[in-house]
Amino acid sequence: EPEVTQTPSHQVTQMGQEVILRCVPISNHLYFYWYRQILGQKVEFLVSFYNNEISEKSEIFDDQFSVERPDGSNFTLKIRSTKLEDSAMYFCASSEFPGPPNYGYTFGSGTRLTVV
Amino acid sequence: AQSVTQLDSHVSVSEGTPVLLRCNYSSSYSPSLFWYVQHPNKGLQLLLKYTSAATLVKGINGFEAEFKKSETSFHLTKPSAHMSDAAEYFCVVTRTGNQFYFGTGTSLTVIP
């Protein structure tokens, strides 16, 4: 069964550093997403991406965050100048069709980011 | 506004006994509802989805859920728990657009 692959599975970074979380979506999918889950809290939507553009973003997704599809296979989330409160599990997802109403996404296994 | 409430943060059942994971939703319009499961060190896997068709939805691994509009509920059930069902379960609601709204999750433990 096709999978969404996320690397690394766990990353530790010092406060103020930049991190890049990487995702390889399913090859025929066109819509990409990032979600995060702070420990003990709900999984929250960050951003959706289609046709090399952000299609929707939450209020969490401020100027500290950016996304990119640098080549035909990778989808990255960059966090500049990390803060302690950025520590969370970050999930990448992809879908073949837009929007969730009739389709579920395929999620990756997540990257646990720890900011120290 | 849309949200889901998972009423139990942790459920423990004996192997072979029924499973009930409760979810109530809040949505201004007709929602789409999903259940996802996350096994340790794995991604979020879609179990089943309700999208305004049949109110009783069957999913993978013997799970099913019933959409009850009058009770604003979408509880997940399975007649007989298996050890491999031990995982974290998330109820998710959406109406349109690209955003999913997750519940806080229910951790299911299956006792041999």
Q: Considering only the beta carbons, identify the residue of A3, A100, A109 that sits closest to B100.
A: A100
Q: Is a pLDDT exceeding 90 seen at residue A100?
A: no
Please name the residue of chain B whose CA is at the shortest distance from the CA of residue A108.
B43
Structure-model confidence comparison of residues B23 and B93, the more confident one: B23
Provide the pLDDT for residue A39.
85
Which chain A residues have any C-beta within 8 angstroms of a chain B C-beta? 3-4, 6, 9, 31, 33, 35, 37, 41-45, 48, 55-56, 58, 91, 93, 98-102, 104-110
The neighbouring-strand residues paired with A114 are: A12
CB contact (8 A) between residue B104 and residue A105: no
The tens digit of pLDDT for each residue in B75-108 reads 999 999 999 999 999 999 886 656 788 999 999 9
The tens digit of pLDDT for each residue in B51-66 reads 777 889 999 999 999 9
Closest residue by Cα to residue A35 from A110, A115, A114 = A110
Supply the mean pLDDT for chain A.
90
Provide the pLDDT for residue A58.
92
First to last CA, chain B: 41
Q: Which of A35-39, B10-14, B96-100 has the highest mean pLDDT?
A: B10-14
Please name the residue of chain B whose CA is at the shortest distance from the CA of residue A109.
B43
Mean pLDDT score, B15-21: 98
User: Which SS3 state, helix, strand or coil, does residue B104 take?
Assistant: coil
Q: Does B72 lie at the interface with A, CB-CB under 8 angstroms?
A: no
Provide the pLDDT for residue B43.
75
